[in-house]
Amino acid sequence: MDFNDIIGYALRIGVILSAIFIILGIIFLFTFQDSNGFSITQIASPNSIVNSSIFMPYEIPSGLSTLSPLDYIYLGLMILIATPVIRVLLGIIQFAIERNKLYTIITIIVFFNLMFAIFILPILIGK
Amino acid sequence: MLEPLQFFIVIVIISALSGILGALTGLGGATFLVPIYTLYLGIPIVYASGASLISTIATSSGAASAYIKDRITNIRIGMGLEIATTSGSIVGSLTTAYIYSHNLQFIIYIVFGIVLLSQVFIQISKSKYELPKAVKPDWTTKVFGLYGKYYDTALKMEVEYIGIRWWLGEIIMFFAGFISGLLGIGSGALKVLGMDWAMNLPMKVSTTTSNFMIGVTAATGSSIYWLFGYIQPFLAAGTAIGVLIGAYIGTKILVRITNKAIRYIFTAILVFLGIQMIMRGMGFGF
Q: For B245-253, what is the mean pLDDT?
A: 80
Residue A95 Cα, gap to closest chain B Cα (Å):
9
Give me the number of domains chain B comprises: 1
How far apart CA B270 and CA B41 sit, in angstroms, is: 18
Q: Which of A18-27, B84-93, B275-284 has the lowest mean pLDDT?
A: B275-284
* pLDDT of residue B86 exceeding 80: yes
**CB B161, CB B148: distance < 8 Å:** yes
Q: For B190-200, what is the mean pLDDT?
A: 86
- Strands (DSSP E) found in chain B: 147-152, 157-162
Residue B71: the pLDDT is 77
Strand duo B157-162 + B147-152: pairing? antiparallel
pLDDT band at B150 (very low <50, low <70, confident <90, very high): confident
| pTM, 2 dp | 0.90
Burial A52-80 (b: 16+ CB within 10 A, else e): beebeeeebeebeeeebbbbbbbbbbbbb
- pLDDT tens for A23-81 read 999 999 999 887 777 888 888 888 888 888 877 777 777 777 777 888 899 999 999 99
- CB < 8 Å to A26, chain B: 8, 237-238, 241
Yes or no, beta carbons of B228 and A9 under 8 Å apart: no
Yes or no, beta carbons of A51 and B215 under 8 Å apart: no
**CB A74, CB B208: distance < 8 Å:** no
The DSSP symbol for A35 reads E
Residue B151: the pLDDT is 80
Among residues B88, B81, B157, which one has the least CA distance to residue A117?
B88
Residue B85: the pLDDT is 95
Residue B24: the pLDDT is 73
The DSSP symbol for B133 reads P
* pLDDT of residue B268 exceeding 90: no
Q: For B67-91, what is the mean pLDDT?
A: 88
Residue A64 Cα, gap to closest chain B Cα (Å):
15
Residue in chain A nearest B226 by alpha carbon? A52
**CB A60, CB A71: distance < 8 Å:** yes
Q: Which of A80-89, B27-36, B252-261, B264-273 has the lowest mean pLDDT?
A: B252-261
Domain that holds residue B51: 4-282
pLDDT band at A105 (very low <50, low <70, confident <90, very high): very high
What is the residue-wise DSSP string for B171-197? Answer: HHHHHHHHHHHHHTS--HHHHHHIIII
Residue B129: the pLDDT is 60
* pLDDT of residue A107 exceeding 90: yes
**CB B217, CB B130: distance < 8 Å:** no
* pLDDT of residue B152 exceeding 90: no
pLDDT band at B141 (very low <50, low <70, confident <90, very high): confident
Residue B262: the pLDDT is 66
* pLDDT of residue B50 exceeding 90: yes
Residue B233: the pLDDT is 92
Of B50, B224, B237, the CB nearest to A22: B237
Yes or no, beta carbons of A117 and B229 under 8 Å apart: no
pLDDT band at B51 (very low <50, low <70, confident <90, very high): very high
Among A78-82, A122-126, B99-103, the range of highest mean pLDDT:
A78-82
Of A43, A74, A113, the CB nearest to B87: A113
Higher pLDDT, B204 or B1: B204
- CB < 8 Å to A46, chain B: 1, 7, 41-44, 47, 235
Instruction: Please give the helix or strand (H or E) that residue B110 lies within, else none.
Output: helix B105-124
Residue in chain B nearest A95 by alpha carbon? B76
Residue A109: the pLDDT is 96
Give me the number of domains chain A comprises: 1
pLDDT band at B4 (very low <50, low <70, confident <90, very high): confident
Higher pLDDT, B132 or B128: B132
Higher pLDDT, B155 or B217: B217
Share of chain A above pLDDT 70, in %: 98
pLDDT band at A1 (very low <50, low <70, confident <90, very high): low
Q: What is the largest CA-CA distance in chain B?
A: 61
Domain that holds residue A21: 3-47+56-126
* pLDDT of residue B80 exceeding 90: yes
* pLDDT of residue B285 exceeding 70: no
Average pLDDT, chain B: 85
Which CA distances in Å does B213 have to B161, B192, B209, B216? 20, 10, 6, 5
The DSSP symbol for A119 reads I
Residue B10: the pLDDT is 94
Of A23, A52, A84, the CB nearest to B57: A84
Radius of gyration of chain B (CA): 18
Give CA torsion, residues B176, B259, B69, B214, to 10 deg: 10
Share of chain B above pLDDT 90, in %: 32
Yes or no, beta carbons of A26 and B238 under 8 Å apart: yes
How far apart CA A116 and CA A59 sit, in angstroms, is: 21
* pLDDT of residue B252 exceeding 90: no
The DSSP symbol for B130 reads S
| Backbone phi, psi, residue A115, to 5° | -65, -35
**Share of chain A residues as helix, strand and coil, in percent rounded to the nearest 5:** 80, 5, 20
Yes or no, beta carbons of A103 and B76 under 8 Å apart: yes
Q: Is the dihedral of CA A91, A92, A93, A97 positive or negative?
A: positive
Helix (H, G, I), strand (E, B) or coil at B158: strand
How far apart CA B199 and CA B231 sit, in angstroms, is: 35
Taking the Cβ of residue A39 and every Cβ of chain B, the question of whether any pair is shorter than 8 Å is answered with no
* pLDDT of residue A88 exceeding 60: yes
